[in-house]
Amino acid sequence: MGNAIQGFIQYLHNTKKSSGNTEVSYERDLRKLSQFLSDQGIEDITQVTATNLNSYMLYLERKRFAPSTVSRSVASIRAFFQYLVKIQEISENPSEGLHPPKVEKKMPEILTVEEVDLLLAQPNAGTPKGMRDRAMLELLYATGIRVSELVHLVLSDVNLSLGFLTCHESGKERIIPFGSVAKRALQTYLAEARPGFVTEESGELLFTNCSGKMMSRQGFWKILKSYASAAGIQADITPHTLRHSFATHLLQNGADLKSLQEMLGHSDISTTQMYVNMSVNKIRDVYLKAHPRK
């Protein structure tokens, strides 16, 4: 089954142009399924039945995996077996009857403008690490890029004179502007801090960790969490929090949905629509709290 999984991941990468995060998630889900089937004595992909897959779903539920995790596993398994049918590795799809559990959609945490200002003021601008951290946080909030995109940026992706950066994902490029505050933070970091971080190994990377290597998403999350704690922010901050806040604040200040979709890199505008709903809900909450005849 391992070879079939590897072939599927290559198909996602080469044909579907999937993101690296998607490929990692699919492979992780399918490796778990493969181990479960192997424990049941099933090694050949053609032997897998709908009963086997339903048993795996029950196994995940007994292990108390979150509904969102089970739902993602169902999506991975269905995509995998659809691929196997497509390449005629199997004649019937045993995953057709799989249905994901209902997952209650939790609206992402959004910081207020005041909370963002407080968060971005936390790095010590008098130290190289503080300069680096301030530049990363300012750039995230200024552009709404993903943390995975941030840590992969190289020097040539940033045009300081015109105030924009270029993101590359799955063979596609998108150009996102940034303002004067992020520009000044970047200029300070590049002139005074970056030379002390980069090594021959890290080359053209815009940001690195303190060892001069590419920063991980987990590493950035720890940095973000520490500054949120220092700022006294109670929200459950994740690496995506500044991206969500960026999108919501832009819409609240009059940005149009199509432009926001392009900046965020959403292939489907319905994904971007989520932020409109969040803005409406926020306005409703403010109204209900403030209007004397609510």
Which residues does the annotation mark as catalytic? 146, 240, 243, 266, 275
Angstrom distances, CA of residue 230 to CA of 53, 237, 273: 47, 13, 33
How far, in Å, CA of 77 to CA of 72, rounded? 9
Q: Which residue has the tokens 């403010």?
A: 286
* Partners of residue 176 on adjacent β-strands: 165
**Contact of 48 with 42, CB cutoff 8 Å:** yes
Q: Pairing relation of β-strands 172-177 and 158-159?
A: unpaired
What are φ and ψ of residue 277, in 5° steps? -60, -40
Q: Which residue has the tokens 């493969």?
A: 34
What are φ and ψ of residue 66, in 5° steps? -60, 145
**Contact of 26 with 8, CB cutoff 8 Å:** yes
Q: Which residue has the tokens 């994904």?
A: 271
Burial class (CB in 10 A: 0-12, 13-18, 19+), 277: exposed
166 SS3 class: strand
